Amino acid sequence: MTEIIELRDIALRIALEAGKLLSDRPENFSLSEKSGVLDFATQMDQASEELIADLIKKIRPNDSILGEEGATKTGKSGYTWVIDPIDGTVNYLYGVPGWCVSIAIKHDDNVVAGVVHAPSLGKTWSAVLNQGAECNGKAIKCNEPIALSKSLIGTGFSYDLSLRVVQGEMFNHLITRIRDIRRLGASAVDICFVASGVLDAYYEADVYEWDFAAAGLIARESGAKFLAVPTMPGGSQYFVMVAGPSLYRELGQEMISDGRWIKAI
């Protein structure tokens, strides 16, 4: 356990360094297209990932790395660092608060430590497996119990425009059954907001492991239930849902009753 806490502390220091780099936001951006014209990276995504990966290699040379922008390295220690150098790149590009740096550490297939650092919000979340979750050094818990009819729910939308049609239909299905919906623009922060009690629940389809690896652990350690299942067998994109236990069950039933969403809740 001592080693995992030390890894969490290393991830905290590295995330803060990346946050400093990103807080000096450039006046001009160069964009590189990824899966489509709406899905892109900036030069700052790449600079942040390079900084994070270089520090990990220096401090933990035997660890593996999986980065959104391609900083992949295979090590022999059994530990893998899962990096999202900017979650919420569109927010960052437009100067909208809420983007973050996400760093998770896996041992074999289990996430054992995670950090989500959101400089524009002044918040840093972290967790160690079986040791609880924190925001800015203070213990956090999800909201529980919350009825669906009283819930404030976060969501997001895919870069795939055809999938947005289905997501819009789910939005329409839920909006008359809940208090309200928020769309904030960074999956990791949305999940951490559930862990902190800022949101009651969050769901989204078409997200990647680096989007939720750290935040998912933080949510679970806050007492929330967290689901991540591939949207297609063997695929790299996931449907995620997180909420306190009672709302998780009720929201899950809405997803099932709608008939278009995950049946494995």
Sign of the Cα torsion 236, 237, 243, 245 reads negative
DSSP 56-112: HHHH-TTSEEEETTS--B--SSSEEEEEEEEE-HHHHHHT-TT-EEEEEEEETTEEE
Contact indicator for 127, 103 with CB cutoff of 8 Å: no
* pLDDT at residue 223, rounded to an integer: 98
Nearest to 214, CA basis, from 97, 134, 157, 154:
134
Q: Give CATH 3.40.190.80 domain extents, the chain.
A: 148-258
Taking 50 as the pLDDT cut, the residues of the chain under it are 37-38, 263-265
* pLDDT at residue 60, rounded to an integer: 98
CA dist., res. 160 & res. 237, Å (int): 12
148-258 maps to which CATH number?
A: 3.40.190.80
Nearest to 227, CA basis, from 241, 217, 216:
241
2-139: CATH architecture:
2-Layer Sandwich (3.30)
* pLDDT at residue 70, rounded to an integer: 84
For the stretch 93-115, pLDDT in tens is: 999 999 999 999 999 899 999 99
Q: Give CATH 3.30.540.10 domain extents, the chain.
A: 2-139
* pLDDT at residue 256, rounded to an integer: 65
3-state secondary structure of 164: helix
* pLDDT at residue 197, rounded to an integer: 98
Number of Cβ within a 10 Å radius of residue 239: 19
Could you tell me the pTM of the whole model? 0.93
* pLDDT at residue 264, rounded to an integer: 41
